[in-house]
Amino acid sequence: MGILKISFYSHKLKSSIDNFSINELKSEIRLIENISKEKSKLEELPQLINNLNDIMNRVIQKVKEDFNKA
């Protein structure tokens, strides 16, 4: 994924993360956005994105489970 796409999608995700109160990712998504905008510390992005994916997958699974219980 290109750096511009990372910046774009991290910006879009930021409000969703805030709205869903995914506290584990509030600072991390901002860090991803800042790194991709500033194009500095790019070596940190893979680990940050992997962590983001792991947490988001757990959140999605939890939402699915909660939805099926309703």
Alpha-carbon distance of 12 to 33, in angstroms, equals 10
In degrees rounded to 5, what are phi and psi of residue 2? -70, 155
pTM (predicted TM-score): 0.86
Alpha-carbon distance of 12 to 24, in angstroms, equals 17
Q: pLDDT, tens digit, for every residue of 3-60?
A: 889 999 999 999 999 999 999 999 999 999 999 999 999 999 999 999 999 999 999 9
Can you give the pLDDT at residue 3? 87
Can you give the pLDDT at residue 1? 73
> Largest alpha-carbon pair distance within the chain?
45
